[in-house]
Amino acid sequence: MSGTSYWEEQTFLKNIDYTIIGSGIVGLTCALELRRLNPNSKIIILERGFLPTGASTKNAGFTCFGSPSELLDDLKNSSEESVFKLVEDRVKGLSKLRALVGDKTMDYREYGSYELFEDANLYDECIANINYLNKQLHSTFNANTFNVFTKPTEFGFDINSLLIKNNFEGQINTGLMMQKLLELVQQANIQILNGFEVLNFYTSKNQWMIEGGQATLKSNKLILCNNAFAKQFFPEFDLKPARAQVLITKPIENLKIKGCFHMDEGYYYFRNVGNRVLFGGGRNLDFDAEETFEMYTSEKIQNQLLHLLKTKILPNQSFEVDQTWAGIMGVGSSKSTHIKQLKEGLFCAVRLGGMGVALGTKVGQEVAQLSSKK
């Protein structure tokens, strides 16, 4: 263990029961559930960044379950049972997050969400299926989920804009959510080692050896909660990175937009953050280029975001971009999450399909329960 002192080895790197890779929503909630199930265990979280690296602190703060066009597209590739079960899982996951963090703490606001359509044919298809979708989702929400929205000028859109409202989606302050989860982990006596990039891991004498740049840890069990980045260790996974690019404007006087909005089967999304507009998406412009672990923005997608802001979202209104950034989601051929035991003492909870805010807490708790079984 070159580079580490006796004190560091004795205090931080020895007698570890559970090691979690990744300090995002899944990793933190996994650790908290492990502490509940194993009060006396030593639990360590490894995080390569100074803040969680991936999407948990870089997402748009949508508590979304699926827009009408997105659900209809999912039904073309998956069964009714799996599509609507996943919506139910997202709702349950959000409920767990709200109970853990608190609505006020993370500034949860259930304004509802809206799908804004540029394609009239796609809108007509969704309208034709709105009763079907409401029927399938009624047992989850105990009310109609979707309805036609007829007042687009309320948000400053053209009077002919086509919108469908989801009555149950909301938004949060991602930073406040993560701050609270980190606080809860600290209170639970769980150590996060930031700046620890895992280079390799293997078994030796019934323990997992976890190699980083400056130290090697020994742990009885190892849990991968690093979403798309797990692909770097297991190339055979049905999992790939999907970069999500985002921008946020400077404050806009008399901003009319309120709530969360989806466009183009969920590939674009925007919301208000106070009197700012946060706008993201566009990876469908170049799927191959956006299948990357590089967290940089691209000129091609940022230009398209600006174009849509000027022409569709904030027409005839001046604005300035304040910040741009990117995060990495984990997607696969299926939108179902990947929670399983890989080997003796090795587990994973990955592939959240861009729905980490809604799914993350449920997924983290489930993998903790799986890994706690004797």
CATH value at residue 207: 3.50.50.60
Q: Are residues 231 and 248 in the same domain?
A: no
Report the number of distinct structural domains present in the chain. 2
Q: Are residues 261 and 323 in the same domain?
A: yes
- The predicted model scores a pTM of 0.95
Q: Are residues 284 and 324 in the same domain?
A: yes
pLDDT band for position 1 (cuts 50, 70, 90) = very low
Q: Which residues pair with 273 in a beta bridge?
A: 276
pLDDT at 9 over 90: no
Residue 83 placed within a domain: no
The enclosing H or E element of 165 equals strand 162-166
Residue 290 belongs to domain with CATH number: 3.30.9.10
Q: Which residues pair with 323 in a beta bridge?
A: 248
Residue 212 placed within a domain: yes
Q: Are residues 40 and 185 in the same domain?
A: yes
Question: pLDDT tens, 40-64?
Answer: 999 999 999 998 888 899 999 999 9
- Which tokens in the block code for residue 135? 């029927």
Residue 103 placed within a domain: no
Which residues lie below 8 Å from residue 181, measured CB to CB, with a gap of 6+? 25, 28, 29, 32, 100, 101
Query: DSSP for 201-214?
Result: EEEETTEEEEE-SS
Q: Are residues 346 and 325 in the same domain?
A: no
pLDDT at 195 over 70: yes
Range of the domain at 19: 6-57+175-238+334-371
Q: Are residues 16 and 46 in the same domain?
A: yes
Residue 248 placed within a domain: yes
Q: Are residues 212 and 323 in the same domain?
A: no
Q: Are residues 254 and 304 in the same domain?
A: yes
Q: Are residues 39 and 184 in the same domain?
A: yes
Residue 109 placed within a domain: no
- Which tokens in the block code for residue 22? 């990744």
Residue 12 placed within a domain: yes
Q: Are residues 218 and 339 in the same domain?
A: yes
Q: Are residues 230 and 246 in the same domain?
A: no
Q: What is the average pLDDT across 256-265?
A: 93
The fraction of the chain above a pLDDT of 70, given in percent, is 99
Q: Are residues 218 and 324 in the same domain?
A: no
Residue 345 placed within a domain: yes
pLDDT at 85 over 50: yes
Residue 78 placed within a domain: no
pLDDT score of 2: 57
